[in-house]
């Protein structure tokens, strides 16, 4: 035990927060050294949920990896599907029909709403609220999950995207429900904000806590809302313009301080932008097929789906940050190498830098504001 | 009406008359005490059980859920099912815990919270012990529970428990001060520490003489209420058991009935402080039409509802903000409040009300400007990149 | 600290509290065993094997594609053989392990014979984890009418496809137990 810097004869307190702890968002462990309540060292320990995702994918056909990607970040299975599909399409050079692109964008933005709403709810739980914001978040998520279920057949493990489109078209009556959800969402966000944004306790707890300087954020290759909260204008939807995002008008909100409050509020603003994208997408959505004929045969018999030799890196702006899939093909039905760049894992690496010198309660909310899902961190 | 109002008092007299027939008259005072104790011993756990039910129901409804509704009609038997569960659960004591301290804490935490009930005037003539120093007794006893919490946290030999116990101690010491100072105003006005006298002093004009309707009473009540929420470890001041940070704080290592006792102490404390708030600032059992004990119950219920409502709404403060809030905001406010009460007393109405209100509002605005939690709150604007 | 933001938040929760009594549909809990959601047609949980008339002759020809493509490899198929040892076009053993199946629906997608489909039944829990969670052929087999009942649109489409296929191969009778 080290001595703490104090006139009194005191000792540091070493505490393991996790792997079983109410607010580590899964099986994550923080090995924290405390001087009283102040964090002097914090070592993140991960890997409890490692399940060999990448190696399994190398032994399975391209299609068979699709349901496994659902389980990376189990809150945003649609965007995981999308990222993987985009990577494989790049590798095999498959075109995606117009309508399928719109469906993909709609699903991806709905996922963003789900993820950000839930994150804010859980962040408030970390702050000590007794589940009220979380359950309001769950209430809204339920409506979106109903949509996912109607379209893909599952609420969370959607397995909906295919190489060259999506599995099936929207069922009848889907668009009406979708429009209703989109129309009601801003009203919910207003209510949510009334409950939270100006709450003095929340402001006191979050402002100027866990500041992530712009430079450090860039150097640590942090991505997603976390990076934007630090004031860096980097959104892959804008930078890469993948899928059909360049067609939509939306803005990228940027934070100024880079603290927990900015990370919270940037996400709220991002949700409002997502609603705008959804409104446009629904309005402009064309008719047509959702899976090109060539891709359909590929999906029907995965053993005949053999991308040419080569490699490809497909990336998207998942709700948590840059989600990338790196694939190497050797011309066989299985990928030779399959690698995931999980945003929460990369964003988690700077946890200690943000927590040092703050109270243990701050460390918890900083972890909450990073937005990790252990399924993705540990793979 | 009179019978209904004095129902419980008459009931006790009836019991005493029956006892008179059998027992020598020397024993009668003891019988009287025994009857009161039995009444409280039955009433307090029932209150605790149905407070848990109420809390779960109210918070459930706030969160768009039903709350307990499986056991009995509206889940009314849920507390009993919970009690059975708690009793049959395994009692785990950590291997290296201080077994005596670990055992002592839950007992020592419940006893004071039961004692609190003895000085509460539940209705006209309904008080177990009308002490001259009732208020002092209440405040003294209510802080004994903190010691038990510290014993439990220390005895568990768990780092989270220790952190929780430390926090509990710091918090209680801090919040005791503004709490007591806010009550001082009431004592100044009434000139007595007896809870019965305080209620009597607010009688007349059908409620308009309750202290809450005076400027110092209003602010005094707010300070008292915040302080008492902190005293009984309820959100947003529940850092000693802050489950998102230190798992369960001082009762991390408690299970089964021992845990239930901690829980019981918390709820009894919440109820007792709500009842004291009703007594001090809302005229206690005073009120028109309804029987006095019903008025008392209603007022207490409203305050308990607010405590639950706070829990359903707010996140919790950080430990240093909590301390800062007590010392930098509540304490000066309480001191100003005493001054305002003096102003109110010595000037003639309506100038008195106006002057003391102005004093309080000005100091409130000034103190809240000084960022009592040590953090500057700012409304931010965000820029967008196209 | 007794600021307007806190009061605003309290107003929100109080409004929800009152609305939960006054406004219908504001409580989103579903009282599960008594109340049930209506599942959308696309809902999938666990595969079933479909037969047309005779449970002895399911559509499945034990081609093993689903077993190979199943991501968690939860399907076991053994081809049936006649007394002479020649392979029959039907499975002898068709086991799916519920505890391994992850409800992805890939078996349904890859099946060239439209024999395996995802069912909507999700109440599959059992008291032991080995045998009662390993579903055998007998338990998996369902008539086409059942499939029509759970997923009418899909079933109609599949039936039309099958009919078109049969008409293409016109004269030959539907093959089931051909050797």
pLDDT in tens, B53-90: 888 888 888 888 888 888 888 888 888 888 888 888 88
Judge contact between A4 and A11, C-beta under 8 A: yes
Query: Is residue A134 predicted with pLDDT exceeding 70?
Result: yes
Q: Which of A56, A67, A184 to mutate to test the interface with C (most CBs of C within 10 A)?
A: A67
Query: Is residue C172 predicted with pLDDT exceeding 70?
Result: no
Which helix (H) or strand (E) element contains residue A310?
Answer: strand A310-318
Share of chain B residues as helix, strand and coil, in percent rounded to the nearest 5: 75, 0, 25
Contact (CB<8Å) C106/A194 = no
Q: Which of B65, B222, B312 sits opposite C13 (nearest CB)?
A: B312
Provide DSSP, A336-371.
EEEEEE-HHHHHHTTHHHHHTTSBHHHHHHHHHHH-
The pLDDT of residue B206? 64
How far apart are alpha carbons A257 and A211 in whole angstroms?
A: 7
Judge contact between A178 and A147, C-beta under 8 A: yes
Neighbouring chains to A with at least 3 Cβ pairs closer than 8 Å: B, C
Q: Which of B245, B248, B322 to mutate to test the interface with A (most CBs of A within 10 A)?
A: B245
Q: In the structure, what pLDDT confidence band is assigned to residue B258 with cuts at 50, 70 and 90?
A: confident
CA distance B244 to chain A (A): 5
Provide DSSP, A167-215.
SSPPPTTHHHHHHHHHHHHHHHHHHHHHHHTT-HHHHHHHTTSS---HH
Which helix (H) or strand (E) element contains residue A329?
Answer: strand A321-329
Query: Is residue A301 predicted with pLDDT exceeding 80?
Result: no
- Partners of B235 on chain A (C-beta within 8 Å) are 128-130
Contact (CB<8Å) C1/B66 = no
pLDDT tens string B180-190? 888 888 888 88
In percent, the amount of chain B with pLDDT more than 70 equals: 97
Predicted TM-score of the model (pTM): 0.87
How far apart are alpha carbons A30 and A45 in whole angstroms?
A: 6
Q: In the structure, what pLDDT confidence band is assigned to residue A326 with cuts at 50, 70 and 90?
A: very high
Q: Which of B62, B314, B368 sits opposite C16 (nearest CB)?
A: B62
How far apart are alpha carbons C59 and A124 in whole angstroms?
A: 53
**Nearest Cα to Cα of residue B304 among B118, B47, B42:** B47
Identify the three-state secondary structure at position B249.
helix
Q: In the structure, what pLDDT confidence band is assigned to residue B261 with cuts at 50, 70 and 90?
A: confident
Which of A145-149, A185-189, A231-235, C79-83 is least confident? C79-83
How far apart are alpha carbons A179 and A175 in whole angstroms?
A: 6
pLDDT tens string A259-275? 888 888 899 999 999 99
pLDDT tens string B133-162? 888 888 888 888 888 888 888 888 888 888
Judge contact between A215 and B330, C-beta under 8 A: no
Judge contact between B299 and B278, C-beta under 8 A: yes
Whether omega before A19 lies within 30 degrees of 0, making that bond cis, reads yes
Residue B290 or B254, more confident: B254
How far apart are alpha carbons C103 and A67 in whole angstroms?
A: 9
How far apart are alpha carbons A266 and A226 in whole angstroms?
A: 9
Identify the three-state secondary structure at position A44.
strand
Tokens describing residue C2: 């007794």
Contact (CB<8Å) A201/C1 = yes
Query: Is residue A1 predicted with pLDDT exceeding 60?
Result: no
**Nearest Cα to Cα of residue C14 among B50, A195, A190:** A195
The pLDDT of residue B375? 62
Bridge-based pairing state of the strands C87-97 and C134-135: antiparallel
The pLDDT of residue A5? 56
Neighbouring chains to C with at least 3 Cβ pairs closer than 8 Å: A, B
CA distance B62 to chain C (A): 4
Identify the three-state secondary structure at position B35.
helix
The mean pLDDT of C114-136, rounded to a whole number, is 84
Spell out the SS3 assignment of chain C.
CCCHHHHHHHHHHHHHHHHHHHCCCCCCCCCCCCCCCCCCCCCCCEEEEEECCCCCCECCCCCCHHHHHCCCCCEEEEEEECCCCCEEEEEEEEEEECCCCCCCCHHHHHCCCCCEEEECCCCCCCCCCCHHHEECHHHHEEEHHHHHHHCHHHHHHHHHHHHHHHHHCCCCCCCCCCC
- Partners of B309 on chain C (C-beta within 8 Å) are 10, 13-14, 17
State phi, psi for A177 to the nearest 5 degrees. -65, -40
**Nearest Cα to Cα of residue A254 among A281, A240, A277, A273:** A273
- Partners of C9 on chain B (C-beta within 8 Å) are 313-314
Which helix (H) or strand (E) element contains residue B323?
Answer: helix B319-324
- Partners of B66 on chain C (C-beta within 8 Å) are 27, 29, 31
Residues 142-161 of B with CB under 8 A from A: 159-160
In percent, the amount of chain A with pLDDT more than 70 equals: 97
Which of A122-131, A140-149, A190-199, B347-356 is least confident? B347-356
Tokens describing residue B114: 């039961």
Residue A135 forms contact with B (CB below 8 Å) = yes
Judge contact between B336 and B360, C-beta under 8 A: yes
Contact (CB<8Å) A159/C106 = yes
The pLDDT of residue A364? 87
pLDDT tens string B304-346? 899 888 888 888 888 888 888 888 888 888 888 888 888 888 8
Q: Which of A37, A254, A262 sits opposite B384 (nearest CB)?
A: A254
Residues 3-42 of C with CB under 8 A from B: 3, 6, 9-10, 12-14, 16-17, 20-21, 26-29, 31
Terminal-to-terminal C-alpha distance of chain B = 74
Q: In the structure, what pLDDT confidence band is assigned to residue A240 with cuts at 50, 70 and 90?
A: confident
Mean pLDDT (chain A, rounded) = 86
State phi, psi for A96 to the nearest 5 degrees. -115, 130
Mean pLDDT (chain C, rounded) = 81
How far apart are alpha carbons B40 and B190 in whole angstroms?
A: 27
Residue B370 forms contact with A (CB below 8 Å) = no
Q: What angle do CA B87, B260, B169 make, to 5 degrees?
A: 150
**Nearest Cα to Cα of residue A88 among A334, A342, A252, A355:** A334
Listed in sequence order, the residues at least 6 apart from C1 whose beta carbon sits closer than 8 Å to its beta carbon are A200, A201, B325, B329, B368, B372, B373
Q: What angle do CA C59, C64, C67 make, to 5 degrees?
A: 110
Tokens describing residue C97: 């392990």
Residue C121 forms contact with A (CB below 8 Å) = no
- Partners of C33 on chain B (C-beta within 8 Å) are none
Beta bridge partners of C143: C51
How far apart are alpha carbons A318 and A338 in whole angstroms?
A: 18
Judge contact between B224 and B279, C-beta under 8 A: no
In percent, the amount of chain C with pLDDT more than 90 equals: 0
How far apart are alpha carbons C75 and C128 in whole angstroms?
A: 19
- Partners of A136 on chain C (C-beta within 8 Å) are 16
How far apart are alpha carbons A76 and B348 in whole angstroms?
A: 68
CA distance A195 to chain C (A): 4
Burial A78-112 (b: 16+ CB within 10 A, else e): bbbbbbbbbbbbbbbebebbbbbbbbbbbbbbbbb
Instruction: Give the C-alpha distances (Å, rounded to integers) separating A278 from A103, A187, A299, B19.
Output: 10, 15, 28, 79
Which helix (H) or strand (E) element contains residue A13?
Answer: strand A13-17
Contact (CB<8Å) A22/B244 = yes
The pLDDT of residue B265? 86
The pLDDT of residue A153? 85
CA distance A233 to chain B (A): 7
Q: Which of A22, A37, A131 sits opposite B319 (nearest CB)?
A: A37
Which helix (H) or strand (E) element contains residue B94?
Answer: none
Tokens 């309660």 sit on residue: A361
Instruction: Give the C-alpha distances (Å, rounded to integers) separating A231 from A214, A237, A241, B42, B209.
Output: 6, 17, 20, 61, 57
The pLDDT of residue C178? 45
CA distance B373 to chain C (A): 8
Question: What is the CB neighbour count within 10 angstroms for residue A51?
Answer: 11
CA distance B325 to chain A (A): 11
How far apart are alpha carbons B173 and B2 in whole angstroms?
A: 44
Burial C34-45 (b: 16+ CB within 10 A, else e): eeeeebbbbbbb
Contact (CB<8Å) A299/C70 = no
The pLDDT of residue C177? 47
Contact (CB<8Å) A153/C9 = no
How far apart are alpha carbons B213 and B190 in whole angstroms?
A: 15
pLDDT tens string A94-123? 888 888 889 999 999 999 999 999 988 888
Query: Is residue C175 predicted with pLDDT exceeding 80?
Result: no
Contact (CB<8Å) C27/B329 = no
Contact (CB<8Å) A251/B238 = no
Beta bridge partners of A338: A327
- Partners of B366 on chain C (C-beta within 8 Å) are none
Q: Which of C4, C9, C64, C118 to mutate to test the interface with A (most CBs of A within 10 A)?
A: C9
How far apart are alpha carbons A291 and A306 in whole angstroms?
A: 18
């Amino acid at each position: 035990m080290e001595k703490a810097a104090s006139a009194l004869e005191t000792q540091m307190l070493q505490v393991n927060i996790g792997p079983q702890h109410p607010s580590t968002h899964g099986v994550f462990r923080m090995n924290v050294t405390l001087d009283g309540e102040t964090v002097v060292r914090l070592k993140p320990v991960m890997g409890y949920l490692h399940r060999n995702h990448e190696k399994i994918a190398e032994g399975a056909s391209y299609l068979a990896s699709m349901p496994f990607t659902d389980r990376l970040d189990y809150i945003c299975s649609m965007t995981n599907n999308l990222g993987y599909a985009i990577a494989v399409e790049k590798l095999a050079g498959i075109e995606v029909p117009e309508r399928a692109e719109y469906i993909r964008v709609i699903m991806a933005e709905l996922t963003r709403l789900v993820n950000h709403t839930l994150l804010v709810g859980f962040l408030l739980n970390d702050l000590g609220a007794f589940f009220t914001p979380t359950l309001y978040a769950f209430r809204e998520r339920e409506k979106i999950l109903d949509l996912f279920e109607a379209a893909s057949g599952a609420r969370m493990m959607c397995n909906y995207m295919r190489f060259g489109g999506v599995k099936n078209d929207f069922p009848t009556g889907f668009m009406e429900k979708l429009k209703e959800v989109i129309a009601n969402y801003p009203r919910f966000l207003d209510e949510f904000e009334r409950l939270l944004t100006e709450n003095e306790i929340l402001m006191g707890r979050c402002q100027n806590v866990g500041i992530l300087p712009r430079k450090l954020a860039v150097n640590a290759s942090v991505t997603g809302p976390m990076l934007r909260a630090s004031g860096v204008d980097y959104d892959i939807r804008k930078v890469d313009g993948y899928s059909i995002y360049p067609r939509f008008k939306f803005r990228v909100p940027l934070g100024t301080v880079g603290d927990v409050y900015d990370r919270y509020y940037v996400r709220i603003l991002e949700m409002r932008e997502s609603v705008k994208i959804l409104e446009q997408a629904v309005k402009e959505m064309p008719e047509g097929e959702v899976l090109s004929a060539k891709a359909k045969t590929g999906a029907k018999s995965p053993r005949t789906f053999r991308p040419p030799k080569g490699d490809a890196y497909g990336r998207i702006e998942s709700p948590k940050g840059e989600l990338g899939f790196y694939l190497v093909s050797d011309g066989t039905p299985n990928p030779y190498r399959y690698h995931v760049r999980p945003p929460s894992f990369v964003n988690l690496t700077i946890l200690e830098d943000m927590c040092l010198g703050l109270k243990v309660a701050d460390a918890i909310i900083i972890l909450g504001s990073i937005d990790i899902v252990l399924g993705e961190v540990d793979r | 009406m009179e019978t209904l109002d004095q129902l419980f008092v008459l009931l006790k007299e009836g019991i005493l008359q029956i006892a008179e027939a059998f027992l020598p008259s020397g024993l009668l005072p003891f019988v009287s005490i025994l009857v009161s104790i039995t009444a409280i011993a039955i009433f307090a756990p029932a209150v605790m059980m149905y407070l848990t039910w109420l809390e779960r129901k109210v918070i459930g409804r706030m969160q768009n859920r039903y709350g307990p509704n499986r056991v009995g009609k509206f889940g009314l038997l849920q507390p009993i099912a919970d009690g059975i569960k708690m009793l049959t659960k395994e009692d785990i004591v950590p291997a290296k815990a201080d077994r005596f301290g670990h055992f002592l804490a839950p007992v020592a935490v419940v006893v004071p919270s039961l004692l609190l009930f003895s000085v509460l005037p539940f209705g006209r003539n309904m008080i177990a012990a009308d002490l001259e120093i009732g208020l002092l007794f209440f405040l003294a006893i209510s802080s004994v529970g903190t010691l038990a919490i510290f014993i439990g946290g220390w005895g568990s030999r768990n780092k989270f428990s220790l952190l929780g116990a430390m926090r509990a101690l710091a918090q209680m010491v801090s919040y005791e001060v503004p709490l007591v100072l806010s009550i001082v105003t009431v004592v100044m006005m009434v000139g007595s520490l007896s809870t019965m006298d305080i209620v009597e002093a607010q009688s007349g004009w059908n409620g308009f003489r309750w202290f809450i309707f005076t400027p110092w009473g209003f602010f005094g009540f707010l300070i008292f209420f915040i302080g008492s929420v902190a005293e009984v470890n309820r959100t947003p001041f529940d850092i000693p058991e802050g489950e998102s940070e230190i798992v369960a704080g001082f009762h991390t290592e408690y299970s089964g009935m021992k845990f239930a006792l901690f829980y019981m102490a918390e709820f009894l404390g919440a109820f007792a402080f709500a009842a004291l708030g009703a007594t001090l600032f809302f005229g206690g059992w005073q009120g028109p039409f309804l029987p006095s004990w019903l008025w008392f119950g209603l007022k207490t219920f409203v305050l308990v509802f607010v405590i639950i409502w706070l829990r359903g709404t707010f996140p919790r403060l950080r430990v240093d903000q909590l301390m800062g809030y007590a010392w930098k905001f509540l304490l000066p406010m309480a001191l100003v409040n005493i001054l305002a009460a003096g102003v109110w007393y010595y000037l003639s109405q309506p100038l008195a009300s106006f002057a003391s209100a102005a004093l309080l509002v000005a100091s409130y605005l000034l103190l809240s400007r000084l960022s009592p939690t040590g953090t500057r709150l700012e409304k931010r604007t965000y820029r967008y990149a196209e | 600290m007794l600021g307007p933001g806190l009061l605003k938040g309290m107003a929100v929760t109080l409004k929800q509290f009152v609305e939960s009594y006054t406004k219908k549909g504001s409580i989103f809990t579903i009282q599960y065993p008594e109340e049930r959601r209506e599942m959308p047609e696309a809902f999938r949980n666990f595969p079933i094997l479909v037969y047309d008339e005779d449970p002895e002759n399911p559509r499945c020809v034990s081609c093993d594609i689903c077993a190979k493509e199943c991501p968690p490899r939860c399907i076991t198929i053994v081809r049936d053989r006649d007394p002479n040892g020649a392979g029959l076009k039907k499975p002898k053993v068709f086991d799916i392990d519920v505890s391994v199946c992850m409800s992805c629906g890939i078996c349904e997608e890859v099946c060239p014979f439209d024999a395996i489909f995802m069912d909507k039944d999700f109440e599959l829990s059992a008291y032991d984890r080995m045998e009662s969670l390993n579903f055998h052929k007998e338990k998996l087999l369902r008539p086409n009418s059942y499939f029509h009942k759970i997923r009418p649109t899909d079933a109609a489409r599949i039936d039309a496809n099958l009919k078109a296929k049969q008409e293409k191969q016109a004269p030959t009778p539907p093959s089931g137990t051909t050797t």
